[in-house]
Amino acid sequence: MNAWNLTGTAPQTPAKGEDALSVSQAVELAANALDALPMLTVIGEVTGFRGPNARSGHCYFQIKDDAAAVDCIVWRGTYAKRSFDLRDGMEVQFTGSFNLYKPTGRMSFVARSFTLAGEGLLRQQVAALAEKLRREGLMDEARKRPIPAFCTRVAVVTSLSGAVIDDVKRTLRRRNPLVELVCVGAKVQGEGAPAELIEGLARAAALDPAPDCILLVRGGGSFEDLMTFNDEALARAVASCPVPVVTGIGHEPDQSICDMVSDRRCSTPTAAAESVAPAIGDLIDLLHARERRLCAATSSLVRGASGGVGALLARFEGAMGARLAQERRVLDGLGNRGCLRSPGYIVERRRSEVAQTADRFERAVDRSQERFAGALEGMPRRFHAATARLSAFGHGLELADARLRAAGEGIAEARRRDLGAQAAKLDALSPLKVLARGYAIAYGDSGVQVSAHAFAPGDALRVRFADGEVSGTVDTVSDRGLSARGDEEER
């Protein structure tokens, strides 16, 4: 049974009578041949990308070049370790091996790892630089400066040998010949181009008088041709330039790092020139329109002010007439005052007021004396009435004292009798009373003893009587019961 060998030569024709291969056998041979291939590294363009799959997480797509295409699979675990996302059109370098799916006989390239290649790597580097500058705030709209609406002096930094500078000059002459254009030459492509552009920006910003803005422009080209404007040093120079920078680099789809950090981004060099130089006809029409609006607004203001002045004049005349009439009435009132007609009038009026006050004071003193005299006459009667009430209170106090004394004697007598009874009981229960009747208390080493068995011969003994104590040593200890029976036998 022959099969395709690893050198790619065709199998030998089966001998006559030898059985042909089944489909599964042929697929098995092909799968074994593919498994025997070593690990391969393939560069191709991603197309038809599908993934990650919602259920399995695997990615399925094709990689192709100008002459061929092959199915490719990236397992979930491999794709999870990626440093970038795959998408159609990317040129990627895959490392893996071929695999044959036996149920359908479909061959696929299973990628174990992948990295960007060629332009894709450059795009990844540009994206990383753009993200870095964005985090630093160089792309914030709040940082970007406004471009004057009417630029009278414009500097352009570009190559002086290309068609771009001619387009800019032609556009400015066509739209507004009053704009002064200053050209600063610099390389826009190739080795050393970023450094020359940075120097050109510095020279343009140092012009005296300073330009209103700087145009940084170049014509279209491939992604690699435009890489000069993705240089980090050039981008920082654009962002830090003291004069506002307008960029017009490449064509409409092209966008570089310099476009992102500039104060205004235009799609082409011509569009950049148009944005800083309004058409002279448009300016004339705008000035005429503003002249008409200014005249109409001024006329309206004058008419309104005239009406307002007339109304204010009428109000002023009315207010002045009313004020003069009021002042006239005040003067007439002052002229009718007696003090002004006769200087002695004030003295006479004050003398009359003093006399009236003296009369009122005398009458008030007399009334106060009469009131105090009447009150003094009534005092003795009120005093006698008050002392009579004190006598009644004294008799009540005497009766209360007698009752209190009687109640106290009764309470004290009852307590006295109870105290005597309790003292008699206490005396009857006193140990001294018992001792007086002939009893004694025996003390041992541990205190009072109530049993003869608490002593042993040789123990110290102390006996208390009613009139004193006796101390000694125990000689013998006898049982009370035996002594009692002996006494009865002797009797």
Cβ contact 242:207 at 8 Å? no
Strand order in the sheet with 213-218: 180-185, 153-158, 213-218, 245-249, 264-266
Per-residue pLDDT, 445: 80
- Which pair of tokens denotes residue 43? 């560069």
488 is written with which tokens?
């009865």
Give the CATH superfamily of 121-282.
Succinyl-CoA synthetase domains (3.40.50.261)
Q: 165 with 190: CB under 8 angstroms?
A: no
CA-wise closest residue to 166 among 183, 187, 186:
183
Residue 469 has what pLDDT?
Answer: 86
Which residues of the chain have a pLDDT value below 70? 1-18, 118-122, 338-341, 343, 480-491
Q: Helices (DSSP H) in 429-479: which residue ranges?
A: 431-436
Place of tokens 């200087």: 343
Alpha helix (H) residue ranges in 337-378: 338-341, 345-377
* Helix 379-428 with 345-377: angle, nearest 10 deg: 50
b or e along 369-381 (b: 16 or more beta carbons within 10 Å of the residue's beta carbon)? eeeeeeeeeeeee
pLDDT, position 341: 67
Contact status, residue 228 vs residue 234, Cβ threshold 8 Å: yes
According to CATH, the superfamily of the domain at 23-117 is Nucleic acid-binding proteins (2.40.50.140)
| DSSP letters for 274-330 | HHHS--HHHHHHHHHHHHHHHHHHHHHHHHHHHHHHHHHHHHHHHHHHHHHHHHHHH
Structural domain boundaries in the chain: 23-117, 121-282, 337-378, 434-472
